[in-house]
Amino acid sequence: MAVLRILGIDPGSRYMGYGVIERNGSRLRYIHADRLVLGNMPFTERLLKIDAFLGELLALYEPDCAAFEGIFHQKFADAAIKLGHARGVAICACARFGIPLYEYAPTDVKQSVTSFGRAEKAQVADMVRILLGVQNTWPVDASDALAIAICHANRI
């Protein structure tokens, strides 16, 4: 079986988590993870930064596919709209590179990584470290992105 490189993306309007893993048969290998800090710059500039950053990330790591967490219910409409815009920019960046996209519900990601669909973020991060065999600690956005990538690796 060929090695598959997967990019997990946890988009947001203030921070975007990303994580790259490889799957070779049933083995997972950690490549890189972090988060892009978008801060308080004007919203349109944040969207441009997401697009430019993902272009660089996709060129550098050359993933075979990308996985996103599906949209979940937001309490505030404005936050949901901004998240949708950030997510759309990330999806377009991947599409521009011809990278197949996959989407998973948040409960499916948690279930895949922890065997419990309502796991807390700390539980998810702990299991990500165990599954990837590393001791790294990442910002929560990055460990979420790795969990999304692991979920995809487990589904294909």
For 30, the 3-state DSSP assignment is: strand
Specify the amino acid at residue 127: M
Q: Do you know the residue count of the chain?
A: 156
φ/ψ of 77, rounded to 5, equals -60, -40
Vertex 5 angle, CA 97 and 137, to 5°: 110
Cβ pair 128, 84 in contact under 8 A: no
* Residues facing residue 27 across a β-bridge: 24
Active-site residue (options: 10, 45, 51, 103): 10
* Residues facing residue 113 across a β-bridge: none
Q: Would residue 34 show up in a list of annotated catalytic residues for this protein?
A: no
Active-site residue (options: 103, 108, 141, 144): 141
Q: Would residue 141 show up in a list of annotated catalytic residues for this protein?
A: yes
Q: Computed over its alpha carbons, how large is the radius of gyration of the chain?
A: 15
Active-site residue (options: 22, 69, 78, 120): 69
Q: Would residue 10 show up in a list of annotated catalytic residues for this protein?
A: yes
Residues designated as active site = 10, 69, 141
